[in-house]
Structure 1
């Protein structure tokens, strides 16, 4: 899963861990975490910090 800067189009970070396509992702309300769901039937919680 790649995180992009919407203003510049620059890739900020790549998160590796799912073994299939990611079909959903969202930031937590405080912006500190990212939750992703994948076709590999897993949900992962990531630290959004660099």
Structure 2
């Protein structure tokens, strides 16, 4: 579980930058619109992990 937490904490900021770059060029990369719900789910999990660690 700790390794999964580490991967999620590492990948979320990286995916945030990637989503921002590709979202600006949506016409060229239409797949980004399909990935947005999964991205928000990942950010939600990331936020929960940070909150659980803070307790």
TM-score bracket, normalised by the shorter chain, equals under 0.3
TM (normalized to structure 1)? 0.19
Return the structure number with greater strand share: 1
Whose relative contact order is higher, 1 or 2, with alpha carbons under 8 Å and at least 6 apart?
Answer: 2
* TM-score calculated relative to the size of structure 2: 0.18
